[in-house]
Structure 1
């Protein structure tokens, strides 16, 4: 069994450029229709497949821009969350939450890419046991066993 994110982008060609430049994704294949829209593209990101396509509203495929935002967040573990976030912002992303040390032992922050997709960029910096996490979180959350 496997799960592959499939993103819809208002400009899939520009999204491919962004993801390859900022996240060091590798383009595997691209299917472009007679109308110039990308019907399917496959990238490899962090060793895993990522699919994307242009908007095709005639079949219900709409991007976060068309929908007014996204309820989905993509988590990407990177060697340096600060540097990756800085590259993303330089390439047109916006910071939703700045990169800081999190209770779970990761240095992480959230960006919205130029296509409306939310990314949690994280770099593990320490191992945190479940007990340590409960102590750090305190009364803010109830953590199940």
Structure 2
């Protein structure tokens, strides 16, 4: 029996259209590391991938509507229904993360700003429809 990874108690499992392109984007935009990838037999879709980023893990797969599942990508649903929050240690990290994502092809949907909740915060939408919110406490070095 294979070793089972030690997964955290809560972990996003996102669905995309264009899994291979999404992995490449997340590597470029967020510095993600692809730690596992299983493709369909024809090699055209990602059945499952684990991406390590920002100290956490996101699981990802392509759409498989032919199996009767109701997990669809934001592109098929008409938009994202959640934001993936990334909590960073320093306020300056938010600016850098948002800038890197936009340069890689994400769309800026909320410019980075100092907020009323005493944080540096900004949001982007990736090319696959997922929203990423970056947050760090103000006053950090």
Give the structure-2-normalised TM-score. 0.83
SS at match of 1:96: strand
Tell me the residue number matched to 1:140: none
Any runs of at least 4 consecutive aligned residues in structure 1 with deviations exceeding 3 A, and if so which?
Answer: none
With CA pairs under 8 Å and 6+ residues apart, which has the higher RCO, 1 or 2?
2
Q: Which has the larger radius of gyration?
A: 1
2:66 corresponds to 1:58: yes
Q: 1:105 aligns with which of 118, 126, 130?
A: 118
Tell me the residue number matched to 1:75: 85
Number of aligned residue pairs = 127
Tell me the residue number matched to 1:45: 53
Q: Gaps spanning 5+ residues in structure 1: where?
A: 128-145
Q: Bigger CA drift: 118-127 or 30-39? A: 118-127
Give the structure-1-normalised TM-score. 0.81
Q: Write out aligned runs for 1:1-145 (5 A).
A: 2-35=9-42, 36-59=44-67, 60=69, 61-78=71-88, 79=90, 80-126=93-139
2 CA distance for matches of 1:74 and 1:83? 17
- Aligned-residue CA RMSD (Å): 1.6
Q: Is the 8 A contact 2:33 2:53 kept in 1?
A: yes
2 CA distance for matches of 1:22 and 1:123? 18
